[in-house]
Amino acid sequence: MGHGLIAWIIIGVVAGWITGKLMKGSGYGFFMDMVVGLIGALIGGFLSSHFGMGGVAQHGMIVSILIAVIGAVILTWLVRLASGNRTANV
């Protein structure tokens, strides 16, 4: 079961928004939330497929969002680690 363009936009926005709340931020705005969420979906999908759970597009919407959130949290954490800024937004 694959996701269409609208589904990917929804996954990206929701995952980016949740990541902004989890990482003690206020989000990055609609467009950047979507970008962070979509990149998070790529990272989360890569990790989940390597752990034998399948990629993001192989699951339903809720599981895809959870995988994207995990990837987006990892992305945000790595960016903050590399920039030396632990509390500010990306």
Tokens 């895809």, residue? Answer: 64
Give the chain's domain count.
Answer: 1
Let me know if residue 48 belongs to a domain.
yes
In the chain, % of residues over pLDDT 90: 2
Judged against a pLDDT cut of 70, whether residue 80 lies above it is answered with: yes
Is position 65 within any domain? yes
- Residue 90 pLDDT level (bands cut at 50, 70, 90): very low
- Chain centroid to CA 23: how far? 12
Instruction: Tell me the mean pLDDT in the region 54-74.
Output: 84
- What was the pLDDT predicted at 36? 84
pLDDT score of 28 more than 70: no
Which structural domain, as residue segments, surrounds residue 57? 5-83
> Is 90 inside a domain boundary?
no
Q: Is residue 53 included in any domain, yes or no?
A: yes
| Burial of residue 2, with CB atoms counted within 10 A of its CB: 0-12 exposed, 13-18 middle, 19 or more buried | exposed
pTM (2 d.p.): 0.80
